Every structure is written in structure tokens, then in C-alpha cells.
A and B are shown apart, each in its own frame.
Chain A
Amino acid sequence: MYACLLPARFFLRRRITILAVLAVALCVFTVVVVMTVMNGLVIDFTAKNHAFFSDCIVSTDSLVGFGLYEEFISHLEGADFVASAAPVISAFGLVESESSGKNAALDLMGIDIARHIKTTDFADTLYYRKDAPILAFRPIYDTNLPGCIVGVDLLVERQKSGQYRQLSYLPAWSYLVTCFPLTPKGALAKTGTQLSANSRTFYYSDNSNSGLARIDSTVVYLPFDFLQSLCGMDIAGRRTNAIFIKFKQGSDINLCTDKVSRLWQDFISQKSDFALANLFGTVRVADWKTYRRQTIAPMEKEQTMLILLFALVGLITVFIIFVIFYMIISRKSRDIGILKSLGVSKAGIITVFMRLAFLTGICGAAVGIASALFFLANINRLEGWLFDKFGFQMWNREIYAIGEIPHDTAPLLLAAVAACAVAACLLGALLPTLSAAGRKCVDVLQVNQL
């Protein structure tokens, strides 16, 4: 009974425990808020990548590409785990505005819009043709013209609030796109003895806001067939750089990626006598996360670094708990002596103080989590108020592709932080508790010790 009553009594009676609870709560609050925001940013970024790149990508880094892609797509579509697949061309081009005369060397992405919107969430990124994405390459002002979709950051101004200043009408802007046509050997295609660069005019038909800053500020989307022709990927057999694949709902992405990999290996072994079979050598099959590893990994590393920094800071909480328990135990030496003289064992003393530490940890975690949840629920409102009153924004939305500050807390994170807080308290209280348990009642209760 004493093992339950005494910890509760020490906890309620000793004002110093409030200090311990506050120290733990402060640490928990900070960790929950920072990790929720950081986790939210990472999850949001990875989700946007997934939406943009589908589940699995068969691709090559070579601009020359690889052939027989339609045949392989037919194979894929015959597989029971594949929902859809779409070929994609990635190339570089010189894009010149015919209205302003300005030019920029940009990434070009050739997509077969009908298949692409089935395979990825590209339709959701459009502005003017959101309701009819299949018509995305047909400018509203003249549907017979060849259209191009431009990354939103290339054309549309972003306001400080994070909203894009979209025009209510679709302007009839035209762009001259120039590409180097490459032969299957990678050489520059020549017209006679002249160096050749293919050019064609496209008309602004929509803009795409994928939420991925680097893509939205560098990519112009063109109809697949047109870009294929501009890049010379229709010379001596049609070629592409990538195939995006969407698996059926509920499929295990890793397992299905392995299956695609096996299908690809079987396919290229069957086609070993194909004239451009040498181009298959650079093709790799990867799930979306591996494909985007270089972009996602730095964010995950930063998250890990932050956790390590907080672990270091959490060490101070352990110190505080240690000292506070040392104080409590020094002040309670007589109680300990009396308990021992009444026959309480070492384990009994340890139980009393460890329960007190547990209680401190739980209360600290509860207070910290409650205040963090309250703060997170109002974080965007608070930022809005700070922006209105003082012009302060946590992240300048003109620079960062961030919408709202993430505020959805993961229950797992809360549980982990609470567990760590309790563990820190138990760890901090361990040494003083062991020292208390080791005390002898004859020493403690000597008259000159009282």
C-alpha cells in the first residue's frame, strides 16, 4: 500500500516536483511541435513525389532513351498487379517566349496525357483544365494549336500568402522550343553537313502546380509525340526515357517493383537480337522512393539530425530530474530510515521513488503534449496573425513551396515522445533512488544525523 501512497504523497506535497514536471513538459512540448512540423513537411514532400512519379519507374538517365517501350507497356498491362503505365520523355530544351523574346534552358517532359493522368495525379496539378485534363494540351482559345503546360513557378507569381496570382483567362502566349535531336548512338543528328537543332512553336495551354519546387520552376510539359520528334527519338525506332507504372490499389509496392524488374529482365532477354538492344543496358527499375532518393534523403537526414540534437537537449532533462530526485531523497532521508526500520526492503524503496519518477514523467508528458496539441491546432492562425500584425512568416511562401504549416500529429510520435519522457525521468531518478535504497536506517536515524 505504501508503495502506492507514498509516491502520490511525495508528488503532491513536494513543490520541487512541479519544477521537474515543468522541465519535462517544456522538453516534450518542443519536441512534439518541432517533430510534428518537420514530419509533416517530410511526409508532404514524399507524398507529392509519389503522386507525381507514380509507384514504379522504369527509366534511363541517358537522353538517348530506349526502344520497344510500347511492347513492354503491353506486357505490363497484361500483369494482374498493374493498373496503368505511361511512357515519359525527359529532355533539355531551349524555350523562348515569342512575345517577350526571353529565353531559358529548361527541362522538357513529354507525356501522353491520356495515359499519364491515369498513372499519376498529374490532373490535380492543372489549373485551367482540372475538370477536363485529357484536353490539357489543347489551348482553350484555339484547341487546334499544339499546347504546352508550363511549371507554375515559371509563369505565375506567388504571393506572400502562398497563393498563386492566377489569371482568370488563359493568355495566348507562344513558345519556341528548341532541342538537340540525338541519334540512337547519341550523336547529334545532322542535316547534310549542318548542325541541326529542331524547333517548334507551342501555345500556352495550362500550368501545373505539383508542389515540388524544383519541378514547378524548371519543367515544361509537351505532348509525347511532339517531344519525341523534337529530340530525334523517332529516328530508327521510337524511343522513350521512362515508363511510369501505377500498381493496383492495395498492392505492396516493393513486391510489385520486384515483379516489374523480373518482367523487364525477361523482356530484354527475349529482345536481345533487337537492333537497339544495347540501349537496354542503362535502364533500371525502381520504386518511386528509390527513384527520388537523392531528393528525399537530405530531408530525412535533416530530420534525423534534429532528433539527435533533441536527444542531446533531452540529456539536460535527465540531469534536472537527477538533481531534483537527489534533493527529494536527501530531504526524505528520515522517512527512508523509518520505512526501512519498519521492514521495507531495498526493492520497496526503489519502487517508491521509481513510481514517483514515473508519475513525474507521465504528468510532464501529459502537460507537454496537451500544450503542444493546443499550440499546433492554432499554429497557422498564430502565423497568420503574426503576418498580419508584424509581417512575420515562419517560411516566406514566395521562396518556399510550403502551404500551411503541418499540424497533424501522429499518435505514434506522441506515444514515442511520452515514452522517452518517462524513460528520461526513470533514468534521471535511478542513481538517487539506488543511493536511497542503499542507506542504512541505523545511520540515517542517528540523533546527530537528524
Chain B
Amino acid sequence: MLKFFLALRYLEKKKIVFLSIVAVALSTALLVTVASLFTAFIEAIESSSSDYLGDIVLEPPAEISYSDELVAKLCSSKEIAAASVVLSTNGLIHLGSGNVKAVSIWGIDLPSRCRVTGMKNSLLMQKNLSSIPEFENDANDSDIIPAFVGIGLLAEPDAKTDEYDLSLVKAFVGDNAIITVGSVQKDSLTDDSFAGLQSRSARIRICDVVFTSVYDIDKRFIFVPVDRLAAVLRGQTQKPADVIHIKCADGFSPQQTVSVVRQIWTDFASGRLDWPNFYIADTEIITSVAKQSQYTAELRKQMGVLLVIFGVISAGVVVLVFCIFYMIVTSKQKDLAIIKSIGGSSVTIASIFLFFGLFIGLIGASVGLVVGFAITHNVNTIERWIGLLFGLKLWSSSVYMFSRIPNHFNWYWAWRFFGAAVLASVLGALAPAITAAKAIPAKILRYE
């Protein structure tokens, strides 16, 4: 009881102790914020990847014919909730007077894509509809291909606010544009007749705008019905595909499902497509999260390096607590001698200072945690205020991919740093506590 009482009393009476609390809080807040912002950014990349590509991506080395059959086979498996085909190509878009841009064009099957990915939520005009979104054909000219166009192709985000003028963007809906794509005259692995390359142009009608909040996607992508794109590229209306995106059923992890997908793919490619084994083996079947792993691994490494740098400097907290405690021990020699003289053991004396250190660690780390949480949670507001006050735009989607700073607070790292801060405080108090425990009352309490 005496230990707690004295530790609390020192905490209350010694103003200098607040300095160590501030230092502990500052270090904890800094480390927690850095770790949270980094991990939130990494998680945002992984989650946007799943939102955009589904859980698993099947990417063969050549175009797949009879892709409908493959999708049906995949969907018949209990591990797979949905699968969707993609036919991709690159091209140019002419949006108006002098406005030409390089684009990636994806031919998609919209109903299945909405089941596999969060596509519906990114459609500006149709996201609030209760029905499945659709490519609306032009009533007057059926040759015009309906298309969803990335918001970044139609407008640039405001330089100060980094936000799009949605009314300006929505005004594009219903407008026509022209795309040019490269058409390769060799449409499958088994077709040996290579007739060369040809560029083909087609008219499109913007029937919705895609706003995923991922700048690189919004800036570069156009989506059209897969059969219409196949018709432009190959002159056929089947659904060939060069990528299949797959969503796992509830309760099945993408990592587990990869092997199931590979088995179905192997059976299909060898049986229906008659592909040779090395082509089948060359097919990439990978989770969408793993597809980003090289980049996210680099980010994790950078986070680690930054945390080590700040961690080393924050180790100064141990020195600070040590100095403060040493000072208190020195100034409280007489109190300690009195406690010893009325029967307090060396362990009791040491415990007073260790508890004291523990209190400081707990309070400082708690404050740091709260501050770190507040900063992380409100980082977008803080960034906006900095922009307003100093005219400095710190976050821009064109540089950092996302239109908002990912601000998910990471409790895993938070508790780790909380523990480390408490431990550092106790460690800093250790040497002074031992010094205090060694105090000899007879020497200290002598009048002279």
C-alpha cells in the first residue's frame, strides 16, 4: 500500500515528472501515427486491389475461347461465389476538340463483374439504383458502343482541394467519343495464321462515369461490354477473355481457393481448349492481394526503416526517465532513509520507483495512444486545415493514388508501442530504483 501511495504522491507532487510523461506521450503518438498511416495505406492498396480485381485473378498466357463455359465451371464449385471475364486492350480515346488520351480498355460482362467486384459502388450515376447497373445502348444508333469512362479521363481534380467537379463530370454522360484500338489478327493460341496488326476505331457513348477513388484506375480505364469489344478487335461477338476475376464464396479464403481454381483451369484448358501443358502451367493464378505483394513489401520495409529511426531516437525517453528519477532519488534521500528506518525493505524502496516508472509509462503511453488515434482518425481534416492555413497541399491523389488519406487506426501496432513505452519507462526507472534501494539510513539521517 505504501509503495502505491508514495508512487502516486511523487507523481502528484513532482512537476518535472510531467516532462517525462510528455516525452513518453510524444514518442508513442509519433510511432503509433506513423505505423497506423503506413499500414492503412498498405491495407488500402490491398483492399482496392480486391475491390477491383476480385479475390483471385486467373491470367493465362493467351486469350481464352469459350470463356462462358469456364466461368460456369468455376461458379459450380462451392468455394467460388462468382467469376467474371475481362478482355483487355490498350488504345486511344478522342473525347473532343484536341482532347486525346491514352487508355486501357476493358471489355466486361457487367452483371457478373458487379458480383465479383465493387464496380456498382464506383459508378457515379447508377450506384444508388436498386437494380443491377447496365450499359445503356444509344436509342438512335446501335453501332455506338455504350461505355463507362474513368472520371480522371474527363476532368482533373482541383489543385487545391483535390476534388472533382462532379457536375462538370456528369455533363459528359450521354456524350459520344471515339476510341482506337490495336487489333491483332491472331485470336487464339491454336490459330497460327498471323495476319498482322491493324488499328480499328469505334464510336462510344459515355453512359456512366467510374470513380473508384484510385487515381491510376480513374485516370486510365474505360469499360465496354465484352462482346462489343470482341467485335471491334476480332469481328466476333463471342466472349473471349484474357483474364478471369474470381470471388470466393463466404467462408473460403482466397489462398485456399487458388488450388481449386487451378484444378478447374487445368481440366478446362487441357480438355476443352486442348492447350499444351506448358501453357497451362504458365497461367498465373494468384490472389489479388499477392499480385500487389512486391509493392506492399517495399512499403512495409520503408515503414520498418522509419520506425527503427524514430524508435532509436525515442529511446531517448529511457534516458529522460532515468535522469528524472535519478534526480528524484537524490532529492528524496531523506524520505527513503526514513522509510528504511521504520522497517521498509530495499525491495519496497525499489518498488516505489518501479511503480512510479510504471505509472509514468501508463499515463504517457495512454496519452500518446489517444493523441495518435486522434491524429490518425482526423488526418484528412488536419491535411485540409494545413492546406487552408498555409496553402500547402500535402496529399494529392495523383501522387499518392487515393483521393483520401487512408486513416484506419492500427491497434496491433498501437498496443505494441504502448507496451514498449511502458517497458521503456520502467527500464529508465530501474537504475535509480536500485540506487534508492541501496540507501543507508544511518548515513543519510546523520545531523552533520
A residues near B (Cβ < 8 Å) are 16, 19, 22-23, 26-27, 30, 34, 62-64, 91-94, 96, 98, 101, 103-107, 176, 178-180, 182, 185-188, 195-197, 199, 294, 298, 301, 305, 309, 312-313, 315-317, 319-320, 322-324, 326-327, 330-331, 394-396, 398-400
Do residues B398 and A294 form an inter-chain contact, with CB atoms below 8 A? yes
Do residues A62 and B92 form an inter-chain contact, with CB atoms below 8 A? no
Chain B contacts for A320, CB-based, 8 A: 316, 319-320, 323
Contact among A101, A188, A305, A313 for B314, CB-based, below 8 A? A313
Q: Is B388 an interface residue (CB 8 A)?
A: no
Do residues A34 and B309 form an inter-chain contact, with CB atoms below 8 A? yes
Do residues B90 and A330 form an inter-chain contact, with CB atoms below 8 A? no
What is the CA–CA distance of A195 and B327 in the complex, to the nearest angstrom? 85
Do residues B324 and A323 form an inter-chain contact, with CB atoms below 8 A? yes
Q: Is B114 an interface residue (CB 8 A)?
A: no
Tell which of B95-103, B123-131, B262-270, B408-416 binds the partner: B95-103
The distance from the CB of B94 to the nearest CB of chain A, in whole angstroms, is 5
Do residues A395 and B197 form an inter-chain contact, with CB atoms below 8 A? no
Residue pairs across A and B with Cβ atoms less than 8 A apart, 25 shown, are: A16-B323, A30-B312, A62-B98, A96-B182, A98-B197, A101-B184, A103-B90, A105-B92, A105-B102, A185-B97, A186-B98, A188-B94, A188-B178, A195-B201, A197-B92, A305-B394, A309-B310, A315-B26, A319-B20, A320-B316, A320-B320, A323-B16, A327-B326, A330-B327, A399-B298
Which of A93, A107, A188 counts the most chain B CB atoms within 10 A? A188
What is the CA–CA distance of A92 and B94 in the complex, to the nearest angstrom? 11
What is the CA–CA distance of A398 and B294 in the complex, to the nearest angstrom? 10
Do residues A309 and B90 form an inter-chain contact, with CB atoms below 8 A? no
Contact among B99, B324, B330, B396 for A63, CB-based, below 8 A? B99
Do residues A94 and B180 form an inter-chain contact, with CB atoms below 8 A? yes
Question: Smallest CB-CB separation from A396: which chain B residue?
Answer: B298
Question: Smallest CB-CB separation from A298: which chain B residue?
Answer: B399
Do residues A323 and B323 form an inter-chain contact, with CB atoms below 8 A? yes
Provided the pairs A199-B199, A313-B313 are in contact, do residues A180 and B180 lie with their beta carbons within 8 angstroms? yes
Do residues A178 and B396 form an inter-chain contact, with CB atoms below 8 A? no
Chain B contacts for A19, CB-based, 8 A: 319, 322-323
Question: Smallest CB-CB separation from A231: which chain B residue?
Answer: B100
Contact among B102, B178, B312 for A107, CB-based, below 8 A? B102
What is the CA–CA distance of A175 and B151 in the complex, to the nearest angstrom? 31
Q: Considering only CB atoms and an 8 Å cut-off, how many residues of chain B contact the other chain?
A: 62
Question: Smallest CB-CB separation from A31: which chain B residue?
Answer: B313
Do residues A178 and B182 form an inter-chain contact, with CB atoms below 8 A? yes
Q: Is B317 an interface residue (CB 8 A)?
A: yes
The distance from the CB of B249 to the nearest CB of chain A, in whole angstroms, is 34
What is the CA–CA distance of A64 and B298 in the complex, to the nearest angstrom? 40
The distance from the CB of A41 to the nearest CB of chain B, in whole angstroms, is 13
Do residues B199 and A197 form an inter-chain contact, with CB atoms below 8 A? yes
Chain B contacts for A312, CB-based, 8 A: 26, 30
Chain B contacts for A394, CB-based, 8 A: 301, 305
Do residues B180 and A309 form an inter-chain contact, with CB atoms below 8 A? no
What is the CA–CA distance of A97 and B391 in the complex, to the nearest angstrom? 46
Not counting A27-B313, A64-B98, A92-B92, a sample of 12 additional A-B residue pairs whose C-beta atoms are within 8 angstroms of each other reads A27-B316, A64-B97, A92-B100, A103-B182, A103-B184, A104-B90, A176-B199, A179-B92, A195-B180, A301-B394, A315-B26, A394-B305
Do residues A316 and B331 form an inter-chain contact, with CB atoms below 8 A? no
Q: Is B49 an interface residue (CB 8 A)?
A: no
What is the CA–CA distance of A41 and B92 in the complex, to the nearest angstrom? 34
Chain A contacts for B199, CB-based, 8 A: 94, 176, 178, 197, 199
Chain A contacts for B27, CB-based, 8 A: 316
Chain B contacts for A396, CB-based, 8 A: 294, 297-298, 301
The distance from the CB of B145 to the nearest CB of chain A, in whole angstroms, is 13
The distance from the CB of B217 to the nearest CB of chain A, in whole angstroms, is 15
Question: Smallest CB-CB separation from B102: which chain A residue?
Answer: A105
Question: Smallest CB-CB separation from B24: which chain A residue?
Answer: A316
What is the CA–CA distance of A327 and B19 in the complex, to the nearest angstrom? 14
Task: Please provide the chain B residues from 316 to 338 with a CB less than 8 Å away from any CB of chain A in the complex.
Answer: 316-317, 319-320, 322-324, 326-327, 330-331
Do residues B100 and A309 form an inter-chain contact, with CB atoms below 8 A? no
Do residues B96 and A327 form an inter-chain contact, with CB atoms below 8 A? no
What is the CA–CA distance of A67 and B63 in the complex, to the nearest angstrom? 45
The distance from the CB of B227 to the nearest CB of chain A, in whole angstroms, is 20
Q: Is B22 an interface residue (CB 8 A)?
A: yes
Contact among A26, A93, A196 for B92, CB-based, below 8 A? A93
Do residues A92 and B327 form an inter-chain contact, with CB atoms below 8 A? no
Q: Is B194 an interface residue (CB 8 A)?
A: yes
Do residues A26 and B100 form an inter-chain contact, with CB atoms below 8 A? no
Task: Please provide the chain B residues from 80 to 121 with a CB less than 8 Å away from any CB of chain A in the complex.
Answer: 89-92, 94, 96-104
